[in-house]
Structure 1
Amino acid sequence: MTSSRAVPNPAFRRLRGQRSPGEFAAAVRRAAREIGEHVACDARYIGRVEAGEIRCPNYAYERVFLHMFPGLTLRDLGFSAREDVRGRAARVTAQRRPPAVPSPTPTPRPAPAWTPVSTAPTNHPSDTSEESDVLRRAFMTTGPATVMAASLGLGEAPAASVPAPRRVGEAEVHAVEEAVRRIRLLDDRHGADGLYRSAAQPLRAAYTLLDAGTTTRRATAHRLYAGAGELSISVGWLAHDSGRFDEARSHYAEALATARIAGDHALEAHAFCNTSFLARDAGQYREAVRAAQAGRRAAARLSSRRLLSLLALREAGGRAWLGDRTGCEQALSQAHGYFERGPSDSDPEWMSFFGEPELEAQEALCHAALGDWARAARHAYRATVLQQPHFARNLALYRAELATDLARAGAPDEAAAAGHQVLDLLDDVQSSRILTKLAATARVLLPHRRLPEVGAFLERHATLKARA
């Protein structure tokens, strides 16, 4: 959790003592292992804490720090109280916590158990905390996610206090796998911002199952490792899409470690794919290329051409931002070549989002990075036309990209029209990534505010910013 008004944290700096940030980060990781927690702490994270950029750690780091310094509170460590950082939403959530182990409502399969989310009012900014509470309760009180939580004795208790189950079997593994599917479904419909905190609970439950080490069948153990790793990537993506880059990096690193332990090349390729995407968004373009290449090496052992296509797109994006036009074009050509060979039964389940619209959208991003705005707009437009409406988050994202590309290509009226279409979707979609793109469009369009269409968009966008 970060703040634009960072205040240095001298208390935390004193606790580090004579150790370097890297040495202290290693101590944090060791302490995490002692209590069965998973954090990817590094010197950069320690530096951000000491600089005051992280006003309050996430729940995993909180448990680790309190374990390292028994008897001290978060305030003693120089952090702000969670409710001070998160505001009203945290206080409302604390008042509305469900029972420790909620009773699931039986729902006939395959009907979705997420109806409360889609009917929750989201069109008023004052309802943000209420919607987050609905999302959290829906996630933790319906379907197999509850089975997983109940099997661990897990309600709102920290993972470190959860007793290990005597045996992990089909029901628990299925619950982990189903939790991954539910998160992806909700993300497709609503975006990441309202889901991230809710999804952390089943993730802790999944790794508690994994750490229990009570699975006897090899096939079951492999599925549990794969499920926990995919769940970590899904939660990492929610952090990524909502602008929590450090937390996303930690989750992706955990998934990669899980893949390496299990010898799971598919999970490894997925982790590298998301790491590459994150590195590109964080401005670390060489890392984006290297991660994509590592993912391609892992995917080469599989039989999914669509996965190779997506990884080639990730590499193309990194190369575009490096200004390597030739390398970008080569990677794009490879991506199209793999894609045109069609889908197969070997394509991972998580790639259900990757069709022609995503291919067009990723190519648009490459051309935009190279400054070819008209070409980028053509591909972004194709993405919006081809995208199915139920992928609401991606449709809003593609339209936001189209608006930005049109604005920079010198078509302000068309950009404003695309911007209006994005705003139409924001009652149901919450994504910091989309809001950032829309803000960029508004800045580019500001010199054209006397045009009626542009003026109307800017006024509507300003109202959105005021409510946020």
Structure 2
Amino acid sequence: MATSRAVPNLAFRGLRGSRSPGEFAAAVRRAAREIGEQVACDARYIGRVESGEIRCPNYAYERVFLHMFPGLCLTDLGFTAREQVRGRGARAAAAPAPQHTIRNDEESDVLRRAFMTGGTATAAAVSLGLGATVPTPRAGGRFGETEVAAVEEAVRRIRLLDDRHGADRLYRQATEPLRTAYALLDSGTAARRSTTDRMHAGAGELSLSVGWLAHDSGRWEDARSHYAEALATARVAGDSALEAHAFSNTSFLARDGGRHREAVRAAQAGQRAARHLSSPRLLALLTLREAGGWAGLGDRTACEEALGRAHTLFGHGPGDADPEWMSFFGEPELEALESQCWSALGDWPRAARHARRAALLQDPHFTRNLALYRAHLAADLARAGRPDEAAANAGLVLDLLDEVHSSRIRALLARTARLLAPHAREAAVADFLDRRTALVTA
């Protein structure tokens, strides 16, 4: 059966004008932030749209594009009407439906083709948009744009789902595309060096994303292994950006595990790797990781010095060179990480002020982070001697637990419950403790 060739999207190309794909991608990310959306747009995504590979964007991108170009519709932007793209999916729906979620937009077609069709990257199923069972590629197999794009899309999909729902229910499913990516690198070859480099970068980022799911769901040894694998991949590929990301996550994990000296060293190594990447925001995050390590060591002077550097770097603003994985790092996260420093130093009122600001600034669209910030706030308020406020904020977190599945957040609530237990005669505290007990024993 003949396959249709992609038709270049000249209308979209015209809207880009004289801006480079990277500059236009940065404008898309800025527009997304304006309306509370999160898209991991880069130059490659713009190229795929303009080449016609993406016939219709997913709903998040649709909202952003319509915000950027008011008065235009999808077809004005050169895309195919969604109902036409979905026609193929509607026909497929006549078959027995699998018990999982699959997106119907053109982006996810790449993921499905790579992980569900023949060739070196095959899959038996997809769960939550991620490959679930992936046989090892044949020796001597080849990989190309389709497989690389699938790995990159898996990274984006994991991050999106984690933002909305937390890590606990995603981790096991997310390990399957990770195994495929590394099997492709081990057993496959690519026609071009640039494709191999992208596969190394994609596999490393996927390892970090899966490692974060392990980290957030309390599987710390698994997380440590995934982060180390990403760091090794970065070193083999000579990828400074991936190396900086791996050190950032390693520092975060070390801090959570009480290995504060390691957290400082990893954060400083990440700063060295990021030094020439022209991203002050990346350096700001790594410097905040360093501050967290110093706080854990009880070195207030070093912590305050690092916090000052982080604020200066953050003040330079976002830039086109910022890695796409850093889309979470805005002012709410800055406030949250600073709050955790003061908490580690035992300055509970100051920690609570920053945690409250993080929660107020956080767009409710990103449910997991909102729940996390409020959970930290509740713990800080409890330690600061304000049990009623602590219970009220902890109760707001309980309201989100139907949507958010994160062992980290549940552990914070358990800690807050222990701190509030001596105040159980107060009505607000009693209500929180009763509700939490009911959820735990359900």
Tell me the TM-score range normalised by the shorter chain.
Answer: 0.7 to 0.9
Using the alignment, how far apart are the partners of 1:288 and 1:189 within structure 2? 27
Q: Paired residues, what number?
A: 342
- 1:406, distance to aligned residue in structure 2 (A): 0.4
Q: d(CA) in 2 for partners of 1:295 and 1:139?
A: 36
Within the candidate set 88, 95, 101, 1:138 is matched to: 101
Q: After TM superposition, give the deviation of residue 170 of structure 1 in Å.
A: 1.2
2:113 maps to what in 1?
A: 147
For residue 109 of structure 1, report the CA deviation from its aligned partner: 2.5
1:402 is matched with: 377
1:417-428 matched pairs, under 5 angstroms:
417-428=392-403
Q: What residue is the counterpart of 2:290 in the other structure?
A: 315
Partner residue of 1:41? none
1:135 to 1:394, Cα distance in 2 relative to 1, 3 A: farther
CA contact (8 A) 1:164 1:209 kept: no
SS, match of residue 173 in structure 1: helix
1:407–1:441 CA contact under 8 A, matched in 2: yes
Tell me how far 1:111 sits from its aligned partner: 3.2
* Alignment partners' CA distance in 2, 1:204 and 1:161: 8
Cα separation, 1, equivalents of 2:320 and 2:233: 24
Match of 1:294 among 269, 272, 278: 269
Whichever residue aligns with residue 153 of structure 1, its letter is T
1:167 lines up with 2:142 in the alignment: yes
- 1:325 equivalenced with 2:288 (yes/no): no
Contact 1:139 1:145 in 2 (8 A): no
Tell me the SS of whatever aligns to 1:155: coil
Q: Percent identity?
A: 64
Shift of 1:154: 2.8
CA distance 1:394–1:272, change in 2 (3 Å): same
Where does residue 449 of structure 1 map in the other structure?
424
Quote how far apart the aligned CAs of 1:108 are: 4.1
TM-aligned CA distance change 1:341 to 1:459, over 3 Å: same
Contact 1:313–1:363 (CA under 8 A) maintained in structure 2: yes
Q: Is the 8 A contact 1:135 1:194 kept in 2?
A: no
For 1:225 and 1:464, the matched residues in 2 are separated by 42
Q: Residue by residue, what CA displacement relative to the aligned partner does 1:310-362 show, whole Å, maximum 9, x if unpaired?
A: 00000000110100100100110011010001010000000000000000000
SS of the aligned residue for 1:138 comes to coil
Deviations 1:293-326 (A, max 9, x none): 1000001021100000000000000110100100
One-letter code aligned to 1:223: R
Pairwise CA distance, 1:155: 2.5
Q: Is the 8 A contact 2:137 2:187 kept in 1?
A: no
Equivalence map 1:217-366=2 (5 Å): 217-366=192-341
- Residue among 411, 429, 432 paired with 1:436: 411
Instruction: Tell me which amino acid in the other structure corresponds to 1:319.
Output: W
Aligned twin of 1:13? none
Distance 2:122 2:188 in 1: 17
Give distance in 2, aligned partners of 1:425 and 1:199. Answer: 23
Contact between 2:141 and 2:188, CA under 8 Å: does it hold in 1? no
Q: Cα distance 1:259–1:139, how it changes in 2: closer, same or farther (>3 A)?
A: farther
CA contact (8 A) 1:170 1:220 kept: yes
Question: Is the partner of 1:347 in helix, strand or coil?
Answer: coil
Q: 1:193 to 1:135 in 2, by over 3 A?
A: farther
Q: How far 1:147 moved relative to its partner? A: 2.2
1:300–1:308 CA contact under 8 A, matched in 2: yes
**Aligned pair in 2 of structure 1 residues 437, 264: CA closer, same or farther (>3 Å)?**
same
SS in 1 for 2:438: helix
Change (3 A) 1:443 1:314: same
- Partner residue of 1:111 out of 59, 79, 84: 59
Q: Tell me, in whole angstroms, the C-alpha distance in 1 between the residues paired with 2:441 and 2:211.
A: 29
Unaligned 5+ segments in structure 2 are 1-53, 62-96, 126-131
Q: Distance in 1 between matches of 2:411 and 2:101?
A: 28
Answer yes or no: is the 8 Å Cα contact 2:251–2:266 preserved in 1. Answer: yes
C-alpha distance 160-175 of structure 1, shift in aligned 2 (>3 A): closer
Structure 1, gaps ≥5 residues long: 1-105, 114-133
How far does the alpha carbon of each residue in 1:84-113 deviate from its partner, in whole angstroms, 9 at most, with x for none?
xxxxxxxxxxxxxxxxxxxxxx99432379
CA distance in 1, matches of 2:306, 2:60: 39
Partner of 1:4: none
Q: CA deviation at 1:221?
A: 1.4
Distance 1:182 1:352 in 2: 14
Distance 1:148 1:394, change over 3 A: same
Aligned to 2:343: 368
- Residues of 2 paired with 1:110 and 1:137: CA distance? 18
**Contact persistence 1:145–1:202 (CA under 8 A):** no
How far apart are 1:243 and its partner, in Å?
0.2
Contact kept in structure 2, 1:323 and 1:370, CA below 8 Å: yes
Cα pair 1:164 1:208 within 8 Å, conserved: no
- Per the alignment, in what secondary structure is the counterpart of residue 123 of structure 2? coil
Q: Distance in 1 between matches of 2:342 and 2:98?
A: 37
SS at the partner of 2:101? helix
Contact 1:226 1:259 in 2 (8 A): yes
Match of 1:197 among 172, 179, 194: 172
CA distance in 2, matches of 1:140, 1:281: 35
Contact 2:134 2:177 in 1 (8 A): no
One-letter code aligned to 1:217: R
Code of the residue aligned with 1:397 in structure 2: it is L
The answer to which of 151-160 and 426-435 deviates more is: 151-160
What SS does the corresponding residue of 1:266 show, helix, strand or coil? helix
CA distance in 1, matches of 2:227, 2:203: 12
Using the size of structure 1 for normalisation, the TM-score is 0.70
Residue pair 2:375, 2:393 contacting (<8 A) in 1 also:
yes
